[in-house]
Amino acid sequence: MSTTTVTVVGLGYVGLPLVQEAVRAGLQVRGLDMSDRVVDGLNGGRSHVDDLSDDDVAQILAGGFRATTDPAVIETSDVVVICVPTPLSADGGPDLGAVEAACRTVAAHARPGLLTVLESTTYPGTTDEVVKPILETSGLRVGEELMLAFSPERIDPGNPTYGMKNTPKVVGGTDEASRDAAVAFYSAFVDTVVPARGTREAETAKLLENTYRHINIALVNEMARFCHELDIDLWDVIRCARTKPFGFQAFYPGPGVGGHCIPIDPNYLSYQVKATLGYPFRFVELAQEINVGMPAYVVRRVQDLLNDSSRALRGAKVLLVGVTYKADIADQRESPATPVATQFLAQGADLTYHDAKVSGWTVDGTPVTQAEDVYAAAAEADVTVLLQPHKEYDLGRLAESAKVLFDTRGAVDHPGVARL
What was the pLDDT predicted at 91? Answer: 73
Q: Provide the CATH number for the domain around residue 56.
A: 3.40.50.720
> In terms of Cα–Cα distance, which of 226, 225, 212, 334 is closest to 283?
212
Task: Judge contact between 135 and 106, C-beta under 8 A.
Answer: yes
Please list the alpha-helical segments (H only) found in 128-198: 132-135, 176-187
Answer whether residue 352 is part of any domain. Answer: yes
Give catalytic status of residue 227 as yes or no: no
Q: Does residue 80 fall inside a structural domain?
A: yes
Q: With respect to residue 349, please indicate whether it lies within any of the assigned structural domains.
A: yes
pLDDT-based confidence at 223, cuts 50/70/90? very high
SS3 94: strand
Q: Is residue 264 part of a domain?
A: no
Asked whether 393 and 411 are in contact (CB, 8 A), the reply is no
Q: Which of 178, 195, 212 is the last residue of a domain?
A: 195
Total domains in the chain come to 2
Domain presence at residue 335? yes
**Mean pLDDT over residues 193-199, rounded?**
98
Distance (Å, rounded) from C-alpha 237 to C-alpha 245?
15
What integer pLDDT is reported at residue 2 of this predicted model? 47
Residue 252 maps to a domain: no
Mode of pairing for the β-strands spanning 147-150 and 169-173: antiparallel
What does the pLDDT read at residue 324? 95
Q: How far apart are CA 81 and CA 19, in angstroms?
A: 10
Domain limit, last residue, from 156, 175, 195: 195
User: Does 169 have pLDDT greater than 90?
Assistant: yes
Beta-sheet strand order (sheet of 115-118): 66-68, 28-32, 5-9, 79-82, 115-118, 147-150, 169-173, 193-195
DSSP string, 205-273: HHHHHHHHHHHHHHHHHHHHHHHHHTT--HHHHHHHHTT-SSS-------S---SSSTTTHHHHHHHHH
In a domain, 13, yes or no: yes
| Per-chain mean pLDDT for the chain | 94
Helix (H) or strand (E) holding 35: none
pLDDT surpassing 70 at residue 273: yes
> Phi/psi at 270 (nearest 5 deg)?
-60, -45
Are 119 and 82 spatial neighbours (Cβ–Cβ below 8 Å)? yes
Contact predicate 294/252, CB 8 Å: no
Residue numbers of the domain that contains 344: 293-420
Strand partners, 195: 171
Is 372 a domain residue? yes
The active-site residue, picked from 83, 103, 227, 261, is 261
Vertex 204: Cα angle to 202 and 210 (nearest 5): 115
pLDDT tens column, 28-42: 999 999 999 999 999
Angle ∠(314,318,321) on CA atoms, nearest 5: 155
Residue 271 has pLDDT above 90, yes or no: no
Would the pTM count as exceeding 0.85?
yes
What mean pLDDT do residues 77-98 have?
89
Model confidence at 1, in pLDDT bands (50, 70, 90)?
Answer: very low
Q: Is 61 exposed, middle or buried (0-12, 13-18, 19+ CB in 10 A)?
A: middle
Q: What percent of the chain has a predicted confidence (pLDDT) above 70? A: 99
- Same structural domain, 141 and 12: yes
pLDDT-based confidence at residue 331 (cuts at 50, 70, 90):
confident
**Domain limit, last residue, from 129, 163, 195:** 195
40 and 177 assigned to the same domain? yes
Taking only the tens place, the pLDDT of each residue in 377-415 is 999 999 999 999 999 999 999 999 999 999 999 999 888
Measured between alpha carbons, how far is 403 from 181 in angstroms, rounded to an integer? 61
